[in-house]
């Protein structure tokens, strides 16, 4: 398989992540919770591939010493780690048939809190992406500005979720905007993967100056 094809598959990871997460959570999860959870976990795997593709694009534009591309990658990885950790309470409730209802309710609440906490690292990922995209054109600038808007929406949603025990519907709208951003970014990265992958030639070492 060619390098271009591998890059396209990595870029498409974001689309697979959104589709599998929606299927696992809303479609399959309603009738088969265990199967739905497995589908969601598979979606997390594709999210990791998407992060790698995004990081490669941002780092290529920012340069080897760029730290914003690393911040975007780190924010995405941290969000993924929180998402994976949030699966543990769900598995605990499903595995324990005679669990105390109060404990089960607390574990489910932990899962919901973990979902809200992911807004912070995702906001870092999107803000870092926005700055690199607008400054360097690594991604279309309209997508860079959209990244900033979605980041602010996520951070605002987190603030509301912390203050209000029953957050309004627009908190979940922020996650919908994030899903749309993931799909749009994946499509852009797939299209850019068609371009030839240029490797910067190594610069020859400077010759020592002759004295005298």
The residue that leads in pLDDT, 54 or 105, is 54
Give the residue among 11, 136, 154, 19 at the shortest CA–CA distance from 75: 154
pLDDT at residue 106 greater than cutoff 80: no
pLDDT tens for each residue of 143-166: 999 999 999 999 998 888 777 765
Residues constituting the chain = 212
pLDDT tens for each residue of 35-52: 878 888 899 999 999 999
pLDDT at residue 101 greater than cutoff 90: no
Boundaries of every domain in the chain: 3-193
Are the CB atoms for 43 and 79 separated by under 8 Å?
A: no
Question: What's the number of CA atoms in the CB half-sphere (13 Å) around residue 180?
Answer: 12
- In the structure encoding, which two tokens stand for residue 178, read together? 């994030």
């Amino acid at each position: 398989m060619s390098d271009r094809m591998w890059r396209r598959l990595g870029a498409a990871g974001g689309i697979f992540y959104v589709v599998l997460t929606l299927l696992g959570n809303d479609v399959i999860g309603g009738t088969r919770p265990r199967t739905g959870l497995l589908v969601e976990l598979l979606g997390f795997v594709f999210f990791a591939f998407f992060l790698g593709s995004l990081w490669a694009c941002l780092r290529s534009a920012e340069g080897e010493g760029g730290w914003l591309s690393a911040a975007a990658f780190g924010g995405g990885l941290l969000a993924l780690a929180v998402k994976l950790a949030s699966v543990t309470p769900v598995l605990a409730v499903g595995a324990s048939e005679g669990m105390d209802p109060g404990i089960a309710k607390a574990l489910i609440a932990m899962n919901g809190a973990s979902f809200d906490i992911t807004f912070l690292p995702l906001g870092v990922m999107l803000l870092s992406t926005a700055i690199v995209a607008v400054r360097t054109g690594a991604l279309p600038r309209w997508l860079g500005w959209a990244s900033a808007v979605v980041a602010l929406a996520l951070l605002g949603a987190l603030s509301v979720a912390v203050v209000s025990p029953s957050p309004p519907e627009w908190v979940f709208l922020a996650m919908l905007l994030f899903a749309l951003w993931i799909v749009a970014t994946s499509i852009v990265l797939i299209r850019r993967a068609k371009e030839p992958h240029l490797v910067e030639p190594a610069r020859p070492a400077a010759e020592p100056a002759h004295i005298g």
